[in-house]
A and B are shown apart, each in its own frame.
Chain A
Amino acid sequence: MKISNYFLFVVLALLLVAAFVLQLLFGSVSIPFADVLKILSGTEASNETWKNIILESRLPGALAAVFAGAGLSVSGLQMQTMFRNPVAGPYVLGISAGASLGVALLILASSAWGINQSVHLYSGWSVILAAGTGAMLIFFVNFFISFRLNDVVAILIIGLMIGGGISALIEIMQALSSNEALKRYVLWTFGSFRYVNNTQVVYLMAVVSIGIVFSFLLSKQLNLLLLGDNYAISSGLDVRKTKVLIVFATSILAGSITAFCGPIGFVGLAVPHLSRSLFKTADHKILIPANVLLGGVICCLCNVISATPGTDYVLPVNAITSLLGAPVVIWIILKQKKM
């Protein structure tokens, strides 16, 4: 590996630490830096409420932002390689919408059908399973469509249509469900790291870590897929098996993150491009760790911005990532047309 890459990794790691700390400092309640340190180091806190805010809300939220950013970026990277499509990503392809459908079915349909909802329903494996299944379902739909046509813009449009269709289904479910379930669901769709609690964040961290390690182990296969299916087959790769493994890895990443943090747009699309331009490489052995760090940094910063320090407002994270990500998509498509 080149020395400049080591340097970049160190810089990104430091940035990630800094961005992580920023998240603990800023929120709707202002807590002095010295007290934040005291609470984290476990010494006697001067203020019980502050302690609660830091340990029960900001810390899990901050961790969720790191892992969500990392996981979404890695899953987006793999989708772009697999579909050989620069605008592929969990949100654009409708994978996040698929995960939403799974969660909506869990929260809304169970309420519509009068199934008794326990509190635990929303905080464990059931949500991961629902979102993961929804994500995988839509991923396979995309997969089969890409057999028939592989046009950058066409796949983008189909992804949007899938998203639109799913929104319609969810709206119907919303109309039929109880007020309480509806409120819970709408809050979830805003996309947020700060509503992730300490129990949920443990699940999230575990699943995302597994997904990232799994993806890293696929990096040689991913590198071969850069050349397209035929070259990959003639290099001895079992392409079908590899693609199923990629679908699996990306679905558990995008699915579990969407389950806990809501749909977070464009991170999975934009960060892979940023890391490719930063590291000037197409090698997944470098790109996967790069996406982990850069995705983490970006989601942490979005989380800080969404807290709008100094005010009482909390903005939806999804709105912020979309504001930052949409121009990137336009830039990519303009760049494509030039080639």
Chain B
Amino acid sequence: MQAHNLQIGYRKQQPVFGNISFAAGEGDMIALLGVNGIGKSTLLRTISGLQLPLSGEITIGQKNLTQTSAAERAALVSIVLTEKLAIDNITVRSLIALGRSPYTGWLGQLSKADEQLIGEIISLLKLENLQHKFFNQLSDGEKQKVLIARALCQQTPVIILDEPTAFLDFRNKRDILQTLRNVCDTLKKTVILSTHDIEAAVEHCNKCWIMTEQKTFEEITKTADFGKDVKSLLQLP
């Protein structure tokens, strides 16, 4: 996924953030950092295709994201949102299976191959014991994993997560980030996530994107001084 000179926001007169350029490759796990209100969610919404950029280009492979149809985009980017989902009477497996919708027919019937893929992803994320439970009975950490599994079923090269660790305790946080790291490494996906948890981000991600208060967009790749560099850009001690 690449972006060139991106300007994001809701109105042309008041751009939220500008001059964003980046290149993210296969197997990259990237943490998007920045203070509240700086525009992290707006950037994630824009590169997910949920809203148009004010100007600039986003490409995935050969495809220009802003010029693709919603159906085409569904095969390029999948998302995990921060909003809490409360759906009654849906099993974990059927929620994960909804990730196949871009590829199923007009009534959404799953093929044998779909079922097999769903099974593989369930075992990859170690959700076997939960798959027949109802989604609403799960803990926040388990729910988050199920939503990641749904996104994986969409088989997109890029997965975008808006604060996936926001409501989680310490152990679940590590667990989710470790899961995402595995996904990146084994399935060669590009994972982009926003977070406020700098320590965890530095530990698991190989790149950080920082939206600084001076309105600059900085990219840092993992090195020995990774953590220190990230903190200095965020003006933290």
Question: Given A220-B106, A236-B70, A285-B108 in contact, is the A231-B86 Cβ separation under 8 Å?
Answer: no
Q: Can you list 10 pairs linking A and B with CB atoms under 8 Å apart?
A: A217-B107, A235-B99, A235-B102, A236-B72, A236-B73, A237-B70, A280-B134, A281-B90, A283-B94, A339-B86
Q: Are B50 and A227 in contact (CB under 8 A)?
A: no
Q: Are A276 and B85 in contact (CB under 8 A)?
A: no
Kindly list chain A residues whose C-beta atoms are within 8 Å of the C-beta of B75. Answer: 236
Partner of A276, one of B49, B74, B77, B88: B88
Bound-complex Cα distance A232 to B98 (A): 10
CB distance from B94 to the nearest CB of A (A): 6
Question: Given A219-B108, A220-B108 in contact, is the A234-B73 Cβ separation under 8 Å?
Answer: yes
CB distance from A198 to the nearest CB of B (A): 35
Q: Which of B73-125 contact A (CB under 8 A)?
A: 73-75, 77-79, 81, 83, 85-91, 94-95, 98-99, 101-102, 104, 106-108
CB distance from B224 to the nearest CB of A (A): 37
Kindly list chain B residues whose C-beta atoms are within 8 Å of the C-beta of A234. Answer: 48-50, 73-74, 77-79
Bound-complex Cα distance A219 to B88 (A): 17
Contact with B along A254-284 (1 / 0, CB 8 A): 0000000000000000000000110111110
Q: Are B101 and A228 in contact (CB under 8 A)?
A: no
**Is there a chain A Cβ closer than 8 Å to B136's Cβ?**
yes
Kindly list chain A residues whose C-beta atoms are within 8 Å of the C-beta of B89. Answer: 276-277, 279-282
Q: Are B81 and A231 in contact (CB under 8 A)?
A: yes
Bound-complex Cα distance A86 to B90 (A): 14
Q: What 7 additional pairs, Cβ within 8 angstroms, besides A219-B107, A281-B94?
A: A223-B98, A228-B83, A233-B70, A235-B101, A238-B70, A280-B89, A283-B94
5 tightest A-B CB contacts, nearest first? A236-B74, A220-B108, A282-B90, A236-B71, A236-B102
**Is there a chain A Cβ closer than 8 Å to B154's Cβ?**
yes
**Which residue of B has the minimal Cβ distance to A273?**
B88
**Which residue of A has the minimal Cβ distance to B154?**
A235
Q: How many of chain B's residues have a CB under 8 angstroms from any CB in A?
A: 35
Q: Are B79 and A231 in contact (CB under 8 A)?
A: yes
Q: Are B90 and A226 in contact (CB under 8 A)?
A: yes
**Is there a chain B Cβ closer than 8 Å to A230's Cβ?**
yes
Contact with B along A85-105 (1 / 0, CB 8 A): 010000000000000000000
Q: Which residues of B contact A (CB under 8 A)?
A: 48-50, 69-75, 77-79, 81, 83, 85-91, 94-95, 98-99, 101-102, 104, 106-108, 134, 136, 154
CB distance from B78 to the nearest CB of A (A): 6
Bound-complex Cα distance A206 to B223 (A): 70
Most chain A CB inside 10 Å of its own CB: which residue of B69, B71, B108 = B108
Q: Are A223 and B108 in contact (CB under 8 A)?
A: yes
Bound-complex Cα distance A281 to B92 (A): 11
Bound-complex Cα distance A170 to B90 (A): 42
Q: Are A230 and B85 in contact (CB under 8 A)?
A: no
Bound-complex Cα distance A223 to B101 (A): 9
Bound-complex Cα distance A231 to B153 (A): 13
Q: Are A230 and B104 in contact (CB under 8 A)?
A: no
Most chain B CB inside 10 Å of its own CB: which residue of A223, A234, A281, A339 = A234
CB distance from A297 to the nearest CB of B (A): 20
Q: Are B98 and A235 in contact (CB under 8 A)?
A: yes
Kindly list chain B residues whose C-beta atoms are within 8 Å of the C-beta of A231. Answer: 79, 81
Kindly list chain B residues whose C-beta atoms are within 8 Å of the C-beta of A277. Answer: 89
Bound-complex Cα distance A220 to B77 (A): 20
Kindly list chain A residues whose C-beta atoms are within 8 Å of the C-beta of B79. Answer: 230-231, 234
Question: Given A234-B50, A236-B101, A236-B102 in contact, is the A282-B154 Cβ separation under 8 Å?
Answer: no
Bound-complex Cα distance A289 to B138 (A): 29
Q: Are B85 and A227 in contact (CB under 8 A)?
A: yes
